[in-house]
Structure 1
Amino acid sequence: MRVRELSRPSEGGAPLRDPDPADRRLMTKRAAWLAGLHVLIPGSAQALAGSRRLGRFALGLWLLGWAALLVALVLWFLLPQVLLTLPTNALGLTVVQLLLAAWAIGWLLLTLDTLRLLRLARLAPTGRGVLAGALALALVVGVGGAGWGAWAAGVARSTVGHVFASGRYAAPADGRYNIMLLGGDAGPGRSGLRPDSISVVSLNALTGDMVTFGLPRDTNRIPFADGSPMKKLYPDGYGTGGRCNVDVCQLNSVYTEAQLKEQKLYPDAVKDHSSAGIEATREAVEGALGIPIQYYVLIDMESFDDLIDAMGGVTVTVPDRLPVGGHIVNGKLTGVKVWIEKGRRHLDGNKALWFARSRYGTAGGDYDRMARQRQLEEAMLHQMNPLTLLTRFDRIAKAGSNAVATDLPQGLLGTIGGAAVKARTQKADNIEFVKPDYDPAQPDWTRIHRVVQEALR
């Protein structure tokens, strides 16, 4: 039935606003129009057949929402940094939560009012059931979806507040943010945590141009940055001549030594959402690469498996058969009861952890392990899809807050996130200072500094 038929005057007036209640056929078609309009354009049913003031108010909000969505779409392509600022800080997430709660209440009231306007008792029996069921479904979807969104915003706010710092803004260096990424692993038989995976992501704050530098954990003779208190202890470089204050003198031992024995050198570290080990490692990496490091992100591998389990596992291509656990006795690998077989495999958290951690089973040793860790990181990013987030959001947020430590401030997440969004559309450079091109035991720091600067240009 055409809308103009419903707008023709009847004995009591226009059918949409003042229909003939005795005409069941007309009442059913009228109800179908009102229900459809309510779902497609909230407030239109009230404007046509109910309170015009309420209808105009709801229509105004609906149009405002579409305008905001259009602006958000434009910002996503032009300035994602601005758009991402709202959902990446506690205040913005509170606003999102309140808006979603208000939407849920408004949709509930409009749907119940539309149900009243349909006058179900005057409809044909079949139409009565179909329309009532359709509005009930719309009510559940609208209120349920908004309610879930408000709940997720609350969980995200708690996670953001727990993981990210509230201050310590650092300016970009030559337009770039350099972020140190550490994969920490306490491991059996170790005294304290050691970062086994050490890399730096250099991200252009405006264009999203990204370069990643990887440093092997067994790098030796590491020069600390100027001004580092550790440089006074090791002016010729950490590990030079076998000098250090722990059992192994290499890059990842800097964290352990500072954390266990040199806390006094970094009295403000905890206040700055960091630690002595993190700060000493930051200064070592700054000296090694010749660039300032504004922020760090540390992933605790012991909690990393919980994050993967929260995702429902991760699928990777295993290049070589890898042992879960085990140790070397007289040159032979022993104590292995479980293996990760070669090929395409869906791994739970524990096996994914050993996929990234295992030092045995491949000829490349630590360098193969570094490659597998990058492979696992990329697989997780690609498999973190909207459906996974929707169904497992609370578990992922909880596991992530336990697995990640960082000094990134909340107010900068939008800028970093926006640049990262732009980076996904560009080819990123990945430079690993490993053999055969570089010798971690005898690194040429002048050459490495030159390569870094050329890559950033």
Structure 2
Amino acid sequence: MSQASLASSQPVRYPDSGSQPVMTRRAWVLVVLNILIPGSAQLLAGNRRLGRFGVGATFVLWALIIAAGLTFLLSRSTILTIASMSISLIAIALVLAFYAVLWLILTLDTLRLVRLIKAAPSARGWVAGLATILLVATSGTAAYGAFVATTASNFVSNVFITAPPKPAIDGRYNIMLLGGDSGPDRDGLRPDSITVVSIDAATGAATMIGLPRNMEYVPFSEGSPLAAAYPNGYGADLGCEVSVCLLNSVYTEVELMSPEMYPDAVAQGSEPGIEGMRDAVQGITGLSIQYYALIDMQGFLDLVDSLGGITVDVATAVPIHSDETFTTVAEWIGPGVVHLDGYHALWYARSRHDTSDYDRMARQRQLEEALLEQFTPANVLSQLQGVAAAGTRVVKTDIPQASLGYFVDLASKTKNLPLQNVELVPDNGVDPEDPDYDHIRQLVAAGVAPIPSSDTTGG
């Protein structure tokens, strides 16, 4: 068959290169085909082996996306679980990197096939521009996705443990949050903030229970090593092994003096001091604590900064001190709605001037709620590297990777519901120096009681 006949019957593969209108139309057709079905341009006008590979890979990707979408609709937590496992994230990163390279090759090869020099001069810039936009939109997006997946995988593997999930107890998950107050003038870490987040496993309704760090005569879980050592409460009989026998001293005592009480703690992703605190919090509240999260307060500063700060409504001005005696005020935070960076957020949580521990508890709870509210996918993705880096320094937890998808799904429900608060403070009839633990457990039980269905719609 002659060249003229081939150009007439197959103008895309065998174009009349002397005709600018034909070459211009052909250029547009190939670029658009490369957008719609990557690899099809090569099937029609180039290396058919590369084209078959590209089209086949495109169909495989479509099938994966459709399967993932259907699974998400039918079982959202399954997809979230897969997407939050370290090994799954690595696999996703490799797949995205593969497609980034493939689309780069196909797009550059498409530009070669269109023979821009043969197209009309007025169309060359538009064709090249469209191909470049495609290159950035496809290969660039896939490459960024691979980066996100790799960063997330490193974060997940560094923070969350590999272990089977724990079941809900009485229909709830109870997570102990400890704000670590470490410093050069202290032996070890002392929890400065102690909170239990109790979440309804079905509805996502959450209750935050704030425990004063200065509670005395703390009871421990029945059968625990500390219950055997202090059967009448922490320090109730002959004192304790540290200078003061308060709730937040339990961590220091067990971690520094008696780590042998919890020999398996480290192997299970915890620490002896944390397990001692878990037994104390369970004894106080009457709740079974499945998981903990230890948040370093200095690292908290980096996390807030990585998210671009947080906004809170400051009721009463809070001072920032310029000396270690907390007497000289350098500046004030508030009053009013204030956007805080990490430095100011940390001072807002910890400032002691003309305030009580209960005021600090309220401010810390306010920051926790603000952080949860502003911890959105858009914020996290836009600052992912900083958030992940801060997170590995900030958080230590025994929540397993296998539970992340479930908790992410549950958290989406929690955000749409009113957050309940139970503060174990004097205003609620709790005297930390002489606590009535039966009364405390009644407060907790009432606070975590299921909300009537008519009240679970939020807002």
TM range (shorter): 0.7 to 0.9
Contact 2:174 2:196 in 1 (8 A): yes
TM-superposition CA deviations, 1:189-229 (whole Å, max 9, x none): 44332112111222344543433322222222321001111
Q: CA deviation at 1:128?
A: 1.5
Q: State the secondary structure of the residue aligned to 2:210.
A: strand
Q: CA deviation at 1:74?
A: 4.7
TM-score (norm 2): 0.87
Code of the aligned partner of 2:342: G
Structure 1's 335 and 109: CA in aligned 2 closer, same or farther, altered over 3 A? same
TM-superposition CA deviations, 1:103-149 (whole Å, max 9, x none): 11110121122213312121011212221232123223422322222
**Which of 135, 143, 147 is the aligned partner of 1:147?**
143
Code of the aligned partner of 2:329: V
TM-superposition CA deviations, 1:220-242 (whole Å, max 9, x none): 23210011111122111124478
Contact 2:291 2:397 in 1 (8 A): yes
- Where does structure 2 lack aligned partners over 5 or more consecutive residues? 451-459
Contact 1:218 1:440 in 2 (8 A): no
TM-superposition CA deviations, 1:398-450 (whole Å, max 9, x none): 11101111112222222222222232233343322223123142333233334
Tell me the equivalent position of 2:362. Answer: 371
TM-score (norm 1): 0.88
Q: How does 1:55-454 map to 2 (within 5 A)?
A: 55=51, 57-76=53-72, 78-167=74-163, 169-187=165-183, 189-240=185-236, 243-325=239-321, 334-362=327-355, 365-386=356-377, 388-441=379-432, 442-454=434-446
TM-superposition CA deviations, 1:140-189 (whole Å, max 9, x none): 34223222222232222222222122236433323432211111112574
Q: CA deviation at 1:373?
A: 1.6
Q: CA deviation at 1:253?
A: 1.6
Contact 2:33 2:40 in 1 (8 A): yes
Q: Give the RMSD, CA atoms, in angstroms.
A: 2.7
Q: CA deviation at 1:13?
A: 1.0
Which range is displaced more, 214-223 or 319-328?
Answer: 319-328
Q: Distance in 1 between matches of 2:24 and 2:150?
A: 42
TM-superposition CA deviations, 1:242-277 (whole Å, max 9, x none): 833323322112112212222121222222221121
Structure 1's 12 and 328: CA in aligned 2 closer, same or farther, altered over 3 A? closer
TM-superposition CA deviations, 1:29-50 (whole Å, max 9, x none): 2312321232243234344444
Of all paired residues, the percent bearing the same amino acid is 47
Tell me the equivalent position of 2:455. Answer: none
Q: CA deviation at 1:14?
A: 3.8
Q: Distance in 2 between matches of 1:368 and 1:68?
A: 52
Q: Distance in 2 between matches of 1:235 and 1:180?
A: 23
Q: CA deviation at 1:67?
A: 4.4
- Where does structure 1 lack aligned partners over 5 or more consecutive residues? 1-8
Q: State the secondary structure of the residue aligned to 2:178.
A: strand
Code of the aligned partner of 1:353: L
Contact 2:164 2:402 in 1 (8 A): no
Contact 1:108 1:139 in 2 (8 A): yes
Q: Distance in 2 between matches of 1:94 and 1:76?
A: 20
TM-superposition CA deviations, 1:257-309 (whole Å, max 9, x none): 21222212122222222112101100011111112111110001022112222
Give the number of equivalent residue pairs. Answer: 444
Q: State the secondary structure of the residue aligned to 2:9.
A: coil
TM-superposition CA deviations, 1:46-97 (whole Å, max 9, x none): 4444456654554454344344434444544553321112232221111111
Code of the aligned partner of 1:91: I
Contact 2:373 2:415 in 1 (8 A): no
